[in-house]
Each structure stands twice: as structure tokens, then as C-alpha cells.
Structure 1
Amino acid sequence: MKPFKFKQFEIQQSKDVFRVGTDGVLMGALANVINAEKVLEVGTGTGLISLMLAQRNSSAEFLGIDINEEAVNLTRLNFENSPFYVRLKNIYQDFKSFETEGKFDLIVSNPPYFEESDSEKDKLARQTVELNFQQLISKSSKLLSENGIFSVIIPFEIGGDFVKLAYENQLFLIRKINIKGIGNSKTKRLILEFSLTEKEVEESEFIIEKSPRQYSDQYLELTKEFHVFKNRN
């Protein structure tokens, strides 16, 4: 499988690991990593999100964990071949049993969300089999630093339930990005960010395409430091 090339790094991919996709790119470009010193990514896949965040924050240290051994090996390869490799580490670990003395300023995840799927390839990456939302939220709330942020990207339809679960675990919604595939369409994804302190929610809208297969100016501007776009005539 061909690698996915970005401006400052390259993502090696595998047919057995969930590949580079728009959700991951949006998460890597939009998650609030500005003031973070220690970042944890839950379910690294190829390592894309951590690599994008490492490009955006030149001093933060990153730890990625994944329960898929093939994904761990792939992430390690992509980390080691990047210009940020000294700040990037990943481990083969079940998040439910993950223990550490330190806290994280940012915990980020593109979590599993399909209850059922016929795809064996994406079984671990896209089913709530190995890690459900309650487990993800509960564990993250315990690992956040005092001013830390928990950031996820999920389908719009389950946003309400996710926010409710987070609230029950003392995590308060502070930022919500409504993501649309194309203008005037329904919201398809949400980027939700939570903290241990209740604040006014910052809400915005993001549109990926202005017409079919034509990225919006908003998307082009957001990803200009990452994507290698072909020159337009």
C-alpha cells in the first residue's frame, strides 16, 4: 500500500490498520494542543494525529497507545521516520488497564463507534468491542491534568449521549465543532473537547467541501501546512 505523504512527514499504511482519513486529519489540525506539554493519543492507528499535533506544538511530548499490535508497529515506524521522533513514543497497551503516575494536558482520540460491522479489517478500529465510550471517558477523566483537555471526533448522531456520559464523569464540554461534508448538508461529525472545569462552550462550524471533490477554502486553509495539494491551473 502506498504511503500517504504530508509536507513534513510520511505515513506508511497497511491493509490491516485503519488508514489515513479525513477524520484523523481534522483531529490533528483542530484539536487544542497549543498549551499542552504532555499528550496522550488513545488508539493511534498509523500515528497520524500525534504526528500532526507534534508539528503544531514543537515542545510537547507524546505517548500513543493501541491494542492492535500491527498498528503499534506501524505507528512506531512512522514516528521514527518523522522529524519529531525524539518527542514521540508509543506502546502496545489496553487503555482500560493503562496506568501512569503522570497526568496529561491533552488526551486525544478518534475512538471506535460502530456497534456492529461486517468488516473484519476494521473490527478493532471501528467497533465498540475493545473499548466503549464509558471506559474511554472514565479513564480519560482520571488521567487529565488540572487544566487538561479531552478531545474526540465522533459521529453527530451519538454526540448527545457522549456529552451526557462525559458529564457523569465530571468532564464538561467546552468546545464543539460541527463538521459538514459539504455546505447546506447535515452535520456528519463532531469534534468535542472537555475539561475538568465548567466553562462557556465555544461552538463553530467546519465545512470540508464546497462542491463534490472540491475542498472548501476553510479546509485548504486549515491543512495548508500539512497536505501536499496539486497546483491549480
Structure 2
Amino acid sequence: MKSFKFKQFEILQSKNVFRVGTDGVLLGALADVEHASRVLEVGTGTGLISLMLAQRNVHASFLGLDINEEAAILTRINFENSPFYVRLNVVHQDFKSFDADKKFDLIISNPPYFEESGSEKDKIARQTVELNFRQLIEKSAKLLSENGLFSVIIPVEAGEVFILIAEENNLFLNRRVNIKGIESSKTKRLILEFSPTEKNLEESEFIIEKSPRIYSDQYFELTKEFHVFKKESRS
């Protein structure tokens, strides 16, 4: 499968591992990684989000975790081929049984969000077969440092339940980004950031396209340090 080239790194892809997509790019570009020293990505896939965060924070160390062995192997290759390789590591393991000696300042995930279906396409990456929201939240709450952040991107329909489960685990919503496909459409995705400390909610809106297949100025500005855009893409 064709690789995906960014300005500072390249993502090798596989038909059996969830590919580079807009959700991952948005989370990698928008998540608050500024103050993190130790970062855990749950369900790393190709390693995209960790690589983007490593480019944004040149001091942090990153651990990618994936239950899919092929994904873990692919991520390791992508990590080793990047300029950030000394700060990146990957483990093939089920998050539900994962433990660490030291807690993390940022736990980040683009989690499975479809209920289990008959489809085999991207089954582990897209369907809540191996990891559901409650399991993700409960485990993340235990592994998060006192001042850490838990950051996810999920469908807007799941937002209310996700926030309630997080509150049950003493994780409080600090930031919410409402993501629209195009300006005239309804919100379709949410980036949610939680911490163990209650704070005033920071809320914003992000629009991906100004019209079908034409990226918005907001998207160009956000991803200008990552994407290699053709000049005609702005027209």
C-alpha cells in the first residue's frame, strides 16, 4: 500500500492496519502536548499521532500501544524511520492488561467507536471489539499523572456518554473542539480533553473544508507544518 508522506516523516501503511485519516491528523495537530514529558498513545495504528506530537514537542518521550501485532510492527518501522526515533517506542499489548511504573502526562487515543458488526473491515481499529469507551476511560484514569491530560477524538453522538463515564472516573472535561466537515454542516466529531482537576471549559469550533474537497484556511493553518500541499489545493 502507498505510503503517506509528511514534511518531516513518512507513514508506511498496510491494508490490515487503519490508515492515515483526517481524525488522526486533527488529534495529532490539536491535542495539548506542550507540557507533557511522558505520552502514551492507545491504539497507535501506524504511529501517526505519536509522530505528529513528537514533532510538536521535541522533549517528550512517546509510547505507542496496540493489540494488533501487525500495527505494532508497522508503527515500529515508522518510528525508526523518523527523525524522532530516539524518543519513540511501541509495545504490542492489550491496553486492558497494560501497566507502567511511572504515570503519563498525556494519554491520547483515536479509539474504536462503532459497535461490533458483521464487517471484518478494520474490525479492531473501528469497532469496540477489544476496547470499549468505559474500559479506555477507567484504565486511562489510573495511568494518568496528577496534572496529566486525557485526549480523544470521537463521534459527536458519543460525546455525552463519554463525558459522563469520564466524570464517574474523576476525569473532568477541560476542553472541547467541535469539528465540522464543512461550514454549513453539523458537528460530526469532538476532540475532548480531560484532567483530574476541574477547570473552566474551553470550547472552540473547527471546520475542515470550506466546500466539498476544498480545505478551509483553518485546516491549512493547523496542518501547515505537517502536510505537503500542492499549490492548487488552495484554489
TM-score when normalising by structure 2: 0.98
Deviation for aligned residue 1:23: 0.2
Name the aligned partner's letter for residue 164 of structure 1: L
* Partner in structure 2 of residue 114 of structure 1: 114
AA of the residue aligned to 1:170? N
Q: Distance in 2 between matches of 1:43 and 1:117?
A: 19
Q: Which residue of 2 aligns with 1:6?
A: 6
Q: Map 1:40-51 to 2 at 5 A.
A: 40-51=40-51
Contact 1:17 1:121 in 2 (8 A): no
Q: What is the RMSD computed on CA atoms of the aligned residues?
A: 0.8
Q: 1:97 offset after TM fit, Å? A: 0.4
Counterpart Cα distance in 1 of 2:26 and 2:119: 24
Identity, in percent, stands at: 77
Matched, 1:183 2:183: yes
What is the Cα deviation at residue 194 of structure 1?
0.1
Q: How many residues align?
A: 233
Distance 1:82 1:19 in 2: 18
Which residue of structure 2 aligns with residue 27 of structure 1? 27
Cα contact 1:179–1:207 (8 A) shared by 2: yes
Instruction: Tell me, yes or no, if the aligned pair for 1:179 and 1:206 is still in contact at 8 Å.
Output: yes
C-alpha separation in 2, matches of 1:209 and 1:163: 27
Kindly provide the CA deviation profile for residues 190-219 of structure 1, in whole angstroms up to 9, marking residues without a partner as x: 000000000010000000000010000000
Distance 1:9 1:48 in 2: 9
Which amino acid letter does the alignment assign opposite residue 215 of structure 2?
Answer: Y
Give the letter aligned to residue 150 of structure 1.
F
CA deviation after TM superposition for structure 1 residue 116, in Å: 2.8
The 3-state SS of whatever aligns with 1:204 is: strand
> Aligned residue for 2:141?
141
Indicate conservation of the 8 Å contact 1:15/1:121, yes or no.
Answer: no
* 1:230 correspondence with 2:235: no
Identify the range of structure 1 (26-35 vs 120-129) with the bigger mean alpha-carbon deviation.
Answer: 120-129
Distance in 1, matches of 2:191 and 2:156, equals: 9
* SS of aligned partner of 1:198: coil
How does the TM-score come out when normalised to structure 1?
0.99
1:132-211 correspondence runs (5 A): 132-211=132-211
CA distance in structure 1 between the aligned counterparts of 2:118 and 2:155, rounded to whole angstroms: 19
Moved over 2 A (4+): 116-119
CA distance in 2, matches of 1:116, 1:64: 24
Match of 2:213 in 1: 213
Shift, 1:171, TM fit: 0.3
5+ long unaligned stretches in structure 1: none
Gaps of 5+ in 2: none
Tell me the CA shift for residue 120 of structure 1. Answer: 1.1
How far is the alpha carbon of 1:231 from its aligned partner?
A: 1.5
Read off the aligned partner of 2:56 and give its amino acid letter. Answer: R
Q: Residue in 2 aligned with 1:126?
A: 126
Q: Give the structure 2 partner of residue 64 of structure 1.
A: 64
Distance 1:207 1:116 in 2: 29
Report the secondary structure of 1:148's partner residue.
strand
Matches within 5 A, 1:69-84: 69-84=69-84
Match of residue 54 from structure 1: 54
Residues 97-112 of structure 1 correspond to what in structure 2 (within 5 A)? 97-112=97-112
| Structure 1 position 117, deviation (Å) | 3.4
* Separation of aligned partners in 2, 1:171 and 1:31: 16
- 1:88 corresponds to 2:85: no
